[in-house]
Amino acid sequence: MTETSSTAPGDPSTPLAVRLRGIGKRFPGVIANDDVNIDVRRGTIHAVVGENGAGKSTLMKILYGVQPPDSGTIEIGGSQVKLSSPADAIKAGVGMVFQHFMLADNLTVLENVVLGAEKQHGIGRKARAEVRRISDAYGLGVDPDALVEDLGVGARQRVEILKVLFRGARTIILDEPTAVLVPQEVDELFGNLRELKKEGLAVLFISHKLDEVLSVADEITVIRRGTTVRTVVPADVTSRQLAELMVGSELPSPGISEKATSTRVQLAVTGLTLHDAAGRALLDDVTFEIRRGEILGIAGVEGNGQAELVEAVMGMRPGATGSIVLTDQDLAPMSTLRRREAGIGYIPEDRHRHGLLLDSPLWENRVLGHQSRPPSASGRLIKRGAARADTQRIIDAYDVRTPGTDVPARALSGGNQQKLIVGREMSGDPILLIAAHPTRGVDVGAQAAIWNHIREARADGLSVLLISADLDELIGLSDRIEVVLRGRLVGEFDPSDVTPEQLGSAMTGAGSAA
Amino acid sequence: MTRVLRALLGLLAPLLALVAAFVITSLVLISAGDPVGEVWSEILQVPETRNVANIVNQACVLYLSGLAVAVAFRMNLFNIGVDGQYRIAAFVGAVVAGEAWLPGYLNTALAIVCAMAVGALWAGIAGVLRATRGVSEVISTIMLNFISTSVVAYLLREAAVREEGSNTIGTKEIPEGSRIGPIPLAAADSGPTAEIYGFVVLAVLAGVAYWFVMSRTRFGFDLRATGQSTTAAVASGINVRRMTIITMMLSGAVAGLVGLPILFGEAYSYGSTFQSGLGFAGIAIALLGRNNPVGIALAALLFAFLEEQSNPLQILVGVSPEIVAITQGVIVLTVVISYEVVRRFLTRREQSRVAKAERPADPAGPADPAPTQDQEARA
Ligand SMILES: Nc1ncnc2c1ncn2[C@@H]1O[C@H](COP(=O)(O)OP(=O)(O)OP(=O)(O)O)[C@@H](O)[C@H]1O
Ligand SMILES: [Mg+2]
């Protein structure tokens, strides 16, 4: 996977693609960026790492013209620019792929790419040819006529990259591009990025997965509490040293808690089946059990039924057949609310769509999903004081970086939003936690902390249905792993003797299941 | 400290809108060659006691209309049908009160309950269509307005009695014992005393109830959560379909109150001349008041003030009173803009404050609980 890059990254003679000097940005109660200095050279991949809330996304949004900086200068290709909108940034040759994809599902790839950039190459034959040309030149393998809704996550991401290239970007920003990908897709993405760099483009990307960063980046800039601490080359650091640079102190070593799996079955799913409107099976006779104090990991390439499984168990998918029993209670007739009251915690896959009220204060987000239970409610009334106090408890316990409980959820960085959701769903002593990518977007330190919280709760009898694209997380946390492929459970693995490679091939259906 | 300043700045936005409306209306007047100065001095003069009473009375009606719209707005539903809902509800209320099956105030209470129930059912049709068939409530409530007009006209002819010596028809008069007595308004300048609707008390209670339900109850939380994000609401266990229907019905129930101050305090029967168009004013008022119970009250008073003060314009300065409709429209448009301007100003101020303090720990968020921006997002 390692590859010696052709350009010498430290070589000062390589022309600069982007030069940021003294960038500062403040939000109410928060200094997001303060004296940030970064040089990105042409033909390099430049990674930006830092804790949750360090100011990485803010910095990238500034470079993409989404937000104006309060201070500092931006130079692109050697000349100073003022970016007051993404259109300015695109004109200057900077493009950005957000973590939340912005594609219209019911349009084709070509239509999506051309949308809003009709002036560049028209919308007809020329545009199609251009899409083909870019796709071939960088090995993106994108079919202009495919419908976006039929594409997997990795392919959608490549469409986003193509969109940016189509608009003539020479510097590409990717905010946590690998968070949603499984390892094979990550490798493909990195292959694409290396192609881009070979053509002299500059790539800026944010990631919390330090091993990935070390394998693909030419230079790594560490941001801590809004300031650039250091820029290093991968050869000079280990991932542990990187993490310590991010935090500014030594990392605590992860605690170990013993397993306490009992023989009592907490969740029994039998013959769960779900069809889509066209009659295609989304879930096909899914049967499994989770015992008290057990973590069952579900491995699979995104879009193979994980989301449907979770939503069926939560009661958000009408039409699912089969039985779901939670400690002797049949869940079938229960609403989502009743299921939550019965002791199910739910960390949704898409925190913006399903997990948060972005414009509501944090304490109201604490109430969400717990409207009917103490401490946030009593009877038909919401207890504001108690909800605020309990939000503060979560903020302290999960290290959510925020100026207070009254700021809107939107003002939190992605990772801190995630920490708040995890803290909320672990509240009220759930007996079953449905965790879809519980540490997506959180930094290494916070990831270890969340794992510890989950392990501690497991020792007290919590059962967990864990879905994750992060195989290390699956292997490290699960007591048992089931692989899901096209809506079916196709094999069971013991995490203590399975490698990510074995899991990976089972997920794509390449290997034979154990 | 900051809280006070924030509240003051909150008033700044509507004030800014007023100034803009003033300027634009003046420009219209000038370009039409009308006497700008006289128009304004007529409108802006201190109202006499009699006019104050009229303003309060009209505001009471507009307030209920604004509340009805706001209930739905809070859930991101656009109830354009308040107009039809209040007319059909007032009609039914008038019939029930006129029949006087129960004595005295029991009769009044029954009529109010019936009116609210009819309003709720009428709006509920749109709620059910939306929840089960995905029909936009905007479309269905507009349709229901038309139907309501015809239904009321038809039923009026069936149930009506002809008033003596006139050819307007109306429902039976409400017996004296079931009317809601007026509250005398003491005249400051020993002029003639005026009276305001006793129903004003009920309107205030409705406002308090609105505030309490929205911000203190689980139902209100569910409603606002659904308004912000249906997907998050579903994941949190809220039954969105049920909420849609209940919210529309609640909005309709409040709409059912709109005509009642007039019915019980002035007209005593529902006739073909019953005041119409109150539901549409409610939309503007809810927007201007930002769905806040106090804000809606201020907006209602402002609208009522402009309408009352413009009445004599035609006679005194020869300008059509419709000019205030322009003012009202401009206020609604500009207030949306000026809220945004003030919000940006606040953020900037906060930033420089943080810059001075130079330490990141201060529990001052940009969003106070009350104002939400959901309507613009929708509009
Ligand atoms: N629109 C906003 N309003 C107020 N504060 C904000 C806003 N956007 C970001 N912040 C604050 O700025 C800081 C930096 O946020 P940013 O999103 O840049 O972090 P990040 O490094 O990308 O973190 P993560 O790894 O969690 O994504 C955070 O403290 C966040 O709360
Ligand atoms: Mg971020």
Does B377 fall in a domain? no
Same domain assignment for residues B178 and B217: yes
Q: What is the Cα–Cα distance from A89 to A83, expressed in whole angstroms? A: 6
What average pLDDT score do residues B146-172 get? 80
Is B364 in contact with A403 (Cβ distance < 8 A)? yes
User: Reduced to 3 states, what is the DSSP secondary structure of residue A494?
Assistant: coil
* Cβ atoms A47, A219 nearer than 8 A: yes
Report whether pLDDT(A209) > 70: yes
DSSP sequence for B107-122: HHHHHHHHHHHHHHHH
Question: Does any CB of chain B come closer than 8 Å to the CB of residue A404?
Answer: yes
Yes or no, beta carbons of B365 and A29 under 8 Å apart: yes
B290 neighbors B342 (Cβ within 8 angstroms): no
B27 shares its domain with B137: no
Task: Say whether pLDDT at A10 is over 60.
Answer: no
Q: Please check whether residue A282 is in contact with residue A276, taking contact to mean a CB–CB distance below 8 angstroms.
A: yes
**Token couple for A145:** 């006529």
* Spatial CA neighbour of A24 closest among A246, A208, A221, A228: A228
CB proximity list for B94: less than 8 A, separation 6 or greater: B111, B170, B171, B172, B174, B263, B269, B270
Query: What does the pLDDT read at residue A513?
Result: 43
pTM: 0.83
The answer as to whether B156 is a domain residue is: yes
| Residue B239, domain member (yes or no) | yes
Residues above pLDDT 70, as percent of chain A: 93
Number of domains in chain B: 2
Residue B349 or A425, more confident: A425
Inform me whether the C-beta atom of residue B4 falls under 8 Å from chain A C-beta atoms. Answer: no
Residues B337 and B302 in one domain: no
Rounded CA-CA distance A246/B219 in Å is 44
Q: Is A474 helix (H, G, I), strand (E, B) or coil?
A: helix
Q: Taking the mean position of all CA atoms in its chain, how far away is CA B354?
A: 39
Q: Is residue B46 part of a domain?
A: no
Q: Is residue B150 pLDDT above 50, yes or no? A: yes
Residue A2: predicted pLDDT: 39
Residues B223 and B340 in one domain: no
A164 is written with which tokens?
């940016």
Residue A123: the pLDDT is 67
In a domain, B115, yes or no: yes
Q: Is the pLDDT of residue B154 over 60?
A: yes
Whether residues B6 and B60 fall in one domain: no
B269, pLDDT greater than 50: yes
Q: What are phi and psi of B207, to 5 degrees?
A: -65, -45
Read off the tokens for A460.
Answer: 């007290």
Taking the C-alpha atoms of residue A305 and residue A274, their distance in angstroms, rounded to an integer, is: 9
Supply the pLDDT for residue A3.
39
Burial B171-208 (b: 16+ CB within 10 A, else e): bbbbbeebbbebbeeeeeeeeeebbbbbbbebbeebbe
Shared domain check, B118 and B3 = no
Strand ranges across the sheet with A30-41: A30-41, A16-27, A71-76, A79-81
* CA atoms in the 13 A half-sphere facing the CB of B276: 14
Cα separation, A310 vs A305, in Å, equals: 9
User: Do residue B268 and residue B142 come from a single domain?
Assistant: yes
Of A26, A31, A335, the CB nearest to B239: A335
Give the separation between CA A300 and CA A486, rounded to whole angstroms. 9
Average pLDDT, chain B: 83
User: What domain range is B135 assigned to?
Assistant: 52-318
Position A5 scores a pLDDT of: 40
Q: Give a yes or no: residue B361 inside a domain.
A: no
pLDDT digits (tens, 9 = 90+) for B4-35: 666 676 677 778 888 888 898 899 888 888 88
Q: In a 10 Å sphere around its CB, with 0-12 CB exposed, 13-18 middle and 19+ buried, how is residue A91 labelled?
A: middle
Instruction: Name the band, by pLDDT with cuts 50, 70 and 90, for residue B374.
Output: very low
Residues whose CB is less than 8 angstroms from the CB of residue B43 and which lie 6 or more positions away in sequence, other chains included: B306, B309, B310, B313, B324
Question: Alpha-carbon distance B59 to B66, whole Å?
Answer: 10
Most confident of A240-249, A438-447, B311-320: A438-447
Asked if B65 and B282 count as a contact pair (C-beta separation under 8 A), the reply is yes
Compute, in angstroms, the gap from residue A416 CA to the centroid of ligand 1.
8
Average pLDDT, integer, range B274-278: 86
Mean pLDDT lowest for which of A130-134, A139-143, A223-227, B339-343? Answer: B339-343
**Do B190 and B147 fall into the same domain?**
yes
Q: What is the ipTM of this complex?
A: 0.82
Taking Cα atoms as reference points, which of A104, A102, A108, A165 lies closest to residue A136? A165
Cβ separation of A28 and B347 shorter than 8 Å? yes
Q: How do residues A439-460 score in pLDDT, each as one tens digit?
A: 988 888 888 888 888 988 888 8
* B19 and B108 inside one domain: no
Up-side HSE of residue A251: CA atoms within 13 Å toward CB? Answer: 19
> Of A144 and A95, which is predicted with more confidence?
A95
| Lowest mean pLDDT, pick from A116-125, A246-255, B244-253 | A246-255
Q: Which domains does chain A have, with CATH numbers?
A: 1-93+171-177+203-249 (3.40.50.300), 98-169 (no CATH), 252-342+432-437+463-514 (3.40.50.300), 344-428 (no CATH)
Amino acid at A126: K
Q: Which residue type, as a one-letter code, is found at position B271?
A: G
A313-327 pLDDT per residue, tens = 999 988 888 899 999
Does any CB of chain B come closer than 8 Å to the CB of residue A314?
yes
- Taking a 5 Å cut-off on Cβ, the residues next to ion ligand 2 are A 57, 414
Q: Is residue B153 part of a domain?
A: yes
**Gap from B45 CA to chain A (nearest CA, Å):** 42
Is residue B325 pLDDT above 50, yes or no?
Answer: yes
pLDDT band at A8 (very low <50, low <70, confident <90, very high): very low
Percent of chain A whose pLDDT exceeds 90? 37
Q: Please check whether residues B326 and B314 belong to one and the same domain.
A: no
Confidence at residue A28, expressed as pLDDT on a 0 to 100 scale: 81
Nearest chain A residue (CA) to B225: A357
The residue with tokens 């539903």 is B77
Q: Is residue B140 classed as helix, strand or coil in its secondary structure?
A: helix
Q: Is the pLDDT of residue A102 over 80?
A: no
| Tokens coding A1 | 């996977």
Q: Is B117 part of any domain?
A: yes
CA angle B8, B11, B13 (to 5 degrees): 125
Mean pLDDT to the nearest integer, B275-287 = 88
My answer on whether B161 and B259 are in the same domain is yes
Residue A27 Cβ contacting ligand 1 at under 6 Å: yes
Name the pairing type of β-strands A344-347 and A432-436.
parallel
Q: Do A381 and B362 touch (CB under 8 A)?
A: no
Which chain B residues are Cβ-neighbours of A360 within 8 angstroms? 224-225, 228
Other Cβ atoms less than 10 A from the Cβ of B316: the count is: 11
CA B314 to chain centre: 27
Query: How far apart (Å, rounded) are the C-alpha atoms in residues A425 and A346?
Result: 6
Amino acid residing at A1: M
pLDDT tens-digit map of A19-71: 999 999 998 888 999 999 999 999 999 999 999 989 999 999 999 998 899 99
CATH number of the domain that residue B201 is part of: 1.10.3470
Amino acid, single-letter form, for residue B119: G
Q: Is A224 on the interface with B (CB under 8 A)?
A: no
Contact B234 A377 (CB under 8 A): no
Averaged pLDDT of chain A: 86
> Is the domain of B333 the same as that of B292?
no
pLDDT digits (tens, 9 = 90+) for A339-388: 999 999 999 988 888 999 988 999 999 999 998 888 888 889 999 999 99
Name residue, tokens 């322009």: B326
The answer to whether the CB of A27 falls within 8 A of the CB of B348 is no
CA A342, CA A319: separation in Å to the nearest integer? Answer: 21
Q: How far is CA B49 from CA A427, B191, B266, B274, B297, in A?
A: 59, 8, 18, 25, 20
